[in-house]
C-alpha cells in the first residue's frame, strides 16, 4: 500500500509541474500573444523554448510511465475474499419470486 501512495503523490507532483511548464511556454500558434511578444525576443529565447519543450515531453513520459506503473501496485484484497452484495441483490435474494395473486392479463391477450 505504501508504494501505491508514493506513486500517487509522484503523479500529482508531475501533473503540477507539467501544468506550470505548459503555462510558461509561449504559444506557437500565433494568436493574440504573438503580436506583443515579437518585439521582446532576445537571442536566448530559443534555448529557453527548447528547454521548456524538452521538459514538457519528459514530464509527459514520466506521467505515462507512473500511470502504467500504478496499475501493477494497486492494492488488492489479500485477506478473506468477501463478496459484497448490493441492496438490490439482497432484495432479489430475500424475496422469492412467487406468482402474483389475482393477476389479470390485458384485454385481447390470452393467458398462458
Q: How far apart are CA 95 and CA 97, in angstroms?
A: 6
Q: How confident is the model at residue 105 (pLDDT cuts 50, 70, 90)?
A: confident
DSSP state of 106: P
- What would the pLDDT profile of 1-11 be if each residue is shown by its tens digit? 788 899 999 99
Checking if the pLDDT of 69 tops 80, the result is yes
pTM to 2 decimal places: 0.55
58 Cα distance to chain centroid: 20
Give me the mean pLDDT over the 42-54 stretch: 71
Q: How confident is the model at residue 33 (pLDDT cuts 50, 70, 90)?
A: very low
Q: Count of alpha carbons within 13 Å of 14, Cβ hemisphere only?
A: 19
Distances (CA, A) of 53 to 57, 65, 72, 109, 112: 6, 18, 30, 72, 73
**Residue 63 near residue 12, CB atoms below 8 Å:** no
Q: Which sequence spans correspond to the domains of the chain?
A: 1-26+51-74
**Residue 1 near residue 70, CB atoms below 8 Å:** no
DSSP helix/strand/coil, 29: coil
Amino acid at each position: 500500500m505504501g508504494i501505491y501512495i508514493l506513486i500517487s503523490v509522484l503523479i500529482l507532483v508531475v501533473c503540477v509541474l507539467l501544468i506550470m511548464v505548459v503555462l510558461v511556454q509561449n504559444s506557437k500558434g500565433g494568436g493574440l500573444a504573438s503580436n506583443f511578444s515579437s518585439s521582446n525576443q532576445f537571442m536566448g529565447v530559443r534555448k529557453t523554448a527548447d528547454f521548456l519543450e524538452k521538459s514538457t515531453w519528459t514530464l509527459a513520459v514520466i506521467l505515462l510511465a507512473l500511470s502504467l506503473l500504478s496499475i501493477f501496485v494497486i492494492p488488492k484484497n489479500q485477506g478473506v475474499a468477501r463478496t459484497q452484495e448490493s441492496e438490490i441483490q439482497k432484495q432479489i435474494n430475500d424475496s422469492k419470486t412467487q406468482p402474483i395473486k389475482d393477476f389479470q392479463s390485458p384485454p385481447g391477450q390470452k393467458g398462458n
